[in-house]
Copies of this chain bind each other. A is one copy, B any other.
């Protein structure tokens, strides 16, 4: 086990009927609130009005910043930062999925910085201050509501970059599984696939010796994520399954899985970000295309970890290593398909001719993340396995 520091100070308030706590939890940090939300769902299902009602009841003055899109943009964050500064905002309340919460994180640290917020993402500046953040999560996916990461897209440079810092942990995460009842089937699956990617990336790229509590933790989460997602796709209002999916996805990237693994990275995300930076596809859909190809490539690099993962998660027995890998990749790909997620660039209507562009785009992030092994050639080779040409 490698040395580690684990410190996740986010207070999680989880369960049905917890939305009315948003007001008091937010007001504890300040009265002038920037309310950050997305495009459609929060407004249409009445959630936003309930949050605003709770904030106002707690004596908050609410300034709204709506319309955050998926794959949130730097330009939009710039506008929100200006608004936050002009309105002397003291605390941010984000209502939405990972995109909204990530945008809110960028606004939170960008408002306290003299320089452009993008400099955090390019590694040119480190975070020193933030506005407190209350995250009302409405999607089981990124775990952003409980973790220290954020991802933002710079439209002018076509770069989708991720950045992590301990100050990015929200102060409070409010997680009511009932808010996810209206998430459509395909986005439910995309969220589950995002969470699975977070587990597999860490699991399959780190060497573990001896007994590893992290392995059992990640295997258990992976099983729960898939099983919960299956139940939700059968019955979108299955509370227990929605709750299990929501909490499992959060635990998949709250820092605990990585504690003790040594240096971890996000190779699947690295490649996917280049696809959604250039094509604005849903993140989880991009991942479900990248994952099978990445697994086929990785199978030759570090097979032992992949074999162990598949044996534990898919209960594969009495098969050779090679067979286990084949069987595992097939099972996972089949599960993606069954869940309504695309598994090839072709299905995303992306031409294989763009592969070198994706690779080039990903290289900039690989450099900042110090993933030297992810060369142009390697990324291209992985993406060649994602085309669906042989499907």
**Which residues of chain A have a CB within 8 Å of any CB of chain B?**
1-18, 177, 209-213, 216-217, 219-221, 223-224, 227-228, 231, 238, 240-241, 243-244, 247-248, 251, 256, 259-260
Contact = CB atoms under 8 A, between A and B. Distances in A.
A198 to B, nearest CB: 14
Given A14-B259, A216-B223, A220-B219, A240 B5 contact: no
B14 A4 contact: yes
B244 A1 contact: yes
B260 A247 contact: yes
A248 B1 CA distance: 12
A-B interface, 5 closest residue pairs, ranked by CB to CB distance from nearest: A3-B15, A216-B220, A210-B240, A7-B11, A1-B243
Contact of A212 (B3, B244, B256): B244
Given A5-B11, A240-B1, A231 B211 contact: yes
B248 A213 contact: yes
A155 to B, nearest CB: 37
A216 B211 contact: no
Contacts of A7: 9-12
Given A216-B223, A247-B259, 9 more contacts: A4-B12, A4-B15, A5-B14, A210-B241, A211-B228, A213-B220, A213-B244, A213-B248, A251-B256
B16 A244 contact: no
Nearest to A260: B247
A164 to B, nearest CB: 16
What's the dominant secondary structure at chain A's contact region? Answer: mixed
B9 A9 contact: yes
A43 to B, nearest CB: 26
B220 A240 contact: no
A243 B1 CA distance: 7
Contacts of A217: 217, 220
A16 to B, nearest CB: 7
Contacts of A256: 251, 256
Contacts of A211: 224, 227-228, 231, 240-241, 244
A10 B255 CA distance: 13
A5 B12 contact: yes
B224 A216 contact: yes
Contacts of A228: 211
B247 A231 contact: no
Nearest to A176: B3
Contacts of A212: 224, 244
Contact of A210 (B216, B244, B247): B244
Contact of A6 (B12, B18, B220, B221): B12
A58 B125 CA distance: 29
Contacts of A231: 210-211
Q: Which of A5, A211, A216 has the most CB of B within 10 A?
A: A211
Given A210-B241, A260-B247, A14 B8 contact: no
A94 B209 CA distance: 31
B5 A8 contact: no
A177 to B, nearest CB: 8
Nearest to A246: B1
A78 to B, nearest CB: 32
